[in-house]
Structure 1
Amino acid sequence: SKTDVDDVVRVDEKKGEIWFTAAGMFNPYFTQLCRAKLDGSGMKIVTDSRFHHDTNLSPDAKYFLDVEQKPDVAPRTVLRDASTGKELAELAKSDVSKMDEAGFKKTELFSFTANDGKTQCWGTLQFPSDFDANKKYPVLLNLYAGPESGGISPRFGLPSPQTDLGFLVVSVAGRGTTSRGKAFRDAVYGKLGIVEIDDQADGVKSLFNRPYVDGNRVGLQGTSYGGYATIMGLLHRPDVFKVGCASSSVTDWRNYDTIYTERYMGLPWKEENEAGYDAGSALKLAGKLQGRLMLYFGSSDNNVHPSNTYQLVTALEKAGLRYDMQVGPDREHTQMNSRTMWEYFLKYLKP
C-alpha cells in the first residue's frame, strides 16, 4: 500500500461493508473517510480529497459530521450524506477576520522530490506577519524526523511565534515518517542519520529559488531525535544548515537502547550493519562541523544519557572545533531554555 489506514470506523457484516479513514489522492496527510466491501472491492472515498477531514459517522451509517480544513483554509463543520458525501447543512464556519486584521499569514504547503529522484515529500512554510516578498529572510527548520514519527500538520492554525522574530519557519515530512505506507518507512532502515537528514535538507533547499529566502542563513532545532537530526544536519549537510540548537541528543546509535535502535538499524556487527552505525554517528563526523552549534543536555536524563553529549564534546575538542553548551542541572529529557535558544538564532542568523 502507498498509504496507511488510520482507523477502522465501522464494520457492517450484514452489508459486507467496512468504513475506515485513510489518506486521499491529493495529499497523503489529508485524512479521508472511505468505505469498501469486506473483500476489498468497491473502495470509495466519501470526502473531498482536497481537504483534511475529521469525521464522525452516525450509528446507522446514513450521515456523518465532517470538519474539513487544510493549512491555508480554516475549518468548517458540515453534515453530509454518507452514501454520496453530499453536503446537507453547514453547522459552523470559522471566523478568521481577527486573524486577518492582525496580519497573520496562512501556512503554505509545498512539495519536493527526494534525492532518490522519485519520492514526493511535503512540507509547510510559515511567514512573518509583516512579510515583504522584496526582503530576504532567514529560515528556521523545526524538526524531529525520527522513524515512524508524525508528518506535517494538515490542519489550519496560527503561524509559529518564531515567525515574528523575523524567520520563515519550515517543517518537512521526510521518508521514514508515518501515513505514507511501508515502502516510505522502509527507506530509512539501516540508514538513520542519512536518508531522513537528506530529506530535511532537500526540503529546505527546494525553497532557495524563491527570492525572499536567504539560503545562507538557515538554522534548525530539535529535541531528542530532533536533537540528533539537528547535529547530523550540520555535519552531513553543511551546504544547507549553518546554525543549530540540539537538545537531549543521541550522538551515536551504539549509545541508545537496543529495543529502539535495533528495530531500525539492525545489529552493529561488521557482518551486519556496522557501516550504517558509523555513517550515522555524529562522533565519527564531528571533525566536519562548519556551522555554529549549541548543545544541551539534562544532567538527570534517563532516556538519552548525558554521555552522548560528553562524547561529542570530546570529539569536537579533539578536532579543535568551537561549540556552545547549556546544561540543565537535575533536569531530565528536556529542551534547552527557549530564551537562550532564540537569542542564539537571533545572534547568528540576524533576521
Structure 2
Amino acid sequence: MKNLVRDFEYDKCKSTLSMSSLTKKIPLEEILEATNNFAKKNIIGKGGFGNVYKGKITRSGKSIKIAARRLGRNQWQGDVEFWTEIFMLSTLSYPNIVELIGYCDEKDEKFIIYRACSNGSLVRYLSDPTTLSWFHRLYLSFYLADAIVYIHGDLGAGYYIIHGNINSSTIILDCHLYHPRLSGFEHSIKRSVDRKDQVYIGDVIGTHGYMDPAIETSKGVTHKTDIYSLGVVLFELLCGRKAFEDNKLLAPLAKKHYENGTLREIIHPDLWNQMDPESFKLFSKAAYSCLHEDPTQRPDASQICDKLLKAKIIHEKLVDYKEDMDYVDAIQNLFMADKEVKKSGFAVSGNGGTTMSSMHNMTDEAFLAFDSMMTSMVVSRLRSISLILVISRVRLL
C-alpha cells in the first residue's frame, strides 16, 4: 500500500511543477526524434524505473546530448517516483548533481531528460583499476561526498533532502572520470532542517547491499541512512568490488576485515599496488565510520568530505613527487649520456641518433662547473619536494 504521507508530498510536487516548470516540458515528438523512435541501439541503461536512451535535442540553437529515462507503463508506483524525481531535480543546482533538462508527460508516455554524462554509471568501472585508478577513486569519493553535503544542507526555505537510494548505479561519471553526478532521486524525501535527527516513518525503498540495517529497527530513515549507503560505495571503490556479488554483501565483509586489519585481502591487487599507506588509512577509516550500527554515531557528510579531501591531497602530493623524481632522473640520465660521450665529441640525440654536442668545446674546468651546477639544481629540487611533503603532512594532521 502506498504511504499516505508520501502520496501527499507527491500531490504537492505535481501541482507545484504544473505551475512553475512548464518551460521544462518537452514534447513527445521531440523525444521520439531524439531517440530515433526508441531504437534499441540507443538504450544505454536499464532499471526498475525503465529504459534509459541516449539522444540529442536542440536548445537555443545548440545541440545537447541527453539521457532520457522512460517510465515503464507497468510501473504501478512509477507515477509517484516520476514526479518526485522531477520535483527534486528542479529544485537542485549543483556541479555534482545530475542536470535536469526537462520532462515529458504525454500520451501515456513519461520521460525524464538529463544532460548526458558520457561514461555511464560508476558500477561499470568498479573492478577496473586501470581505467578507474586509485587517483580517480579519491577524486570521485570526495566529489560524491560533497554532493551529499549539499543535499543534506539547508537548501533554502529550511529544508534538506534524504536521497534514499545512493548506490554505484545512481552515480554517473563524466568523460574524464573525475567528477561524478548523483542521480536517482525518485525515492528522495524532502524534510525540515529542524527535524534532521527525527526518523521519517514510511515506505522505505532502496537497493540490496546498500540499505541501512538500522531500518529494520527504526522502520524509517534519517540523513544518516544516506551515510551508510555512502560507506558501502566507498568500500566498493576501495576494494574494487560490488556491494553484492557472489551472494555476499560487501559491507559486513569489509567491516570484518577492517577490524581485523586484513583489508588488503579483499582489495583488488592492482588497485592495492597504486595505494599509498596514508591515503589508504584515511580513506578506509572514513568508509568504516559510515557503517556504524548506531546511525547517531555515524559522521555527517561534511566530516566524511573533510577526511576524503585529506586523503586526496596526500596522494596528490605523492603523485607530484613521483613525477618530479621522474623528471629529475630524466635530466640526470640525459646529462650523464652527454657526459659519457663528451670525450668523443658527440651526444645522444632525442631520436636515437647522434649530434655534435656543444659540450665538446667545453674546457675541463667549464665542464666541471656545469656538472656542479646541475648537481646543485637536483639537490635543491629534491629538498623543495621533501619540504612540501612535510608541510602538507603537518597541516593535515
> What range is the shorter-chain TM-score in?
under 0.3
Structure with max Cα Rg: 2
Structure that is richer in strand per residue: 1
Taking structure 2 as the reference length, what is the TM-score of the superposition?
0.25
Taking structure 1 as the reference length, what is the TM-score of the superposition?
0.27
